[in-house]
Amino acid sequence: MTATNVKESDYLTAWAIFFVLSFIGGTVAGAVVGGVAGGILGALGASRGLITTVAGGLGFLVGLPISYFCFRFAVTKFLFPKFSAPAATVEPLRAAA
């Protein structure tokens, strides 16, 4: 398994796709979970500091698996096929018999 078929632009493409997907997915999921947790804690009469800490922590924890699955998707889709592609082989011309 060699990286001869992989160019720097392939790494950059995979990273950019990973970054955009994980940023958007993590932001949306973190906002939803953090908002729900903040709403529940606010209804229970928790202080602002506690709400901020718990909601932020839960948002971060929800973002971790999203980041992982986005990373797997980007690597599997954009990098892995280039690593597992067979190397180009050139067969020399054979003399006519």
pLDDT tens by residue, 13-34: 999 999 999 999 999 999 999 9
Q: Residue 77, SS3?
A: helix
pLDDT by residue (tens digit) across 24-71? 999 999 999 999 999 999 999 999 999 999 999 999 999 999 999 999
Report the 10 Å Cβ neighbour count for 59.
Answer: 20
Asked, for residue 77, whether it belongs to a domain, the answer is yes
The boundaries of the domain holding residue 46 are: 31-82
Residues 6+ apart with CB under 8 A from 42: 51
Looking at the structure of the chain, the number of domains it has is 1
Q: Tell me, what's the pLDDT at 43?
A: 95
Q: Tell me, what's the pLDDT at 15?
A: 94
Asked, for residue 58, whether it belongs to a domain, the answer is yes
Asked, for residue 95, whether it belongs to a domain, the answer is no
Place of tokens 């979970």: 33
Report the 10 Å Cβ neighbour count for 77.
Answer: 13
Query: How does 39-49 read in b/e, with b if 16+ C-beta sit within 10 Å?
Result: eebeeeebeee
Q: Tell me, what's the pLDDT at 95?
A: 61
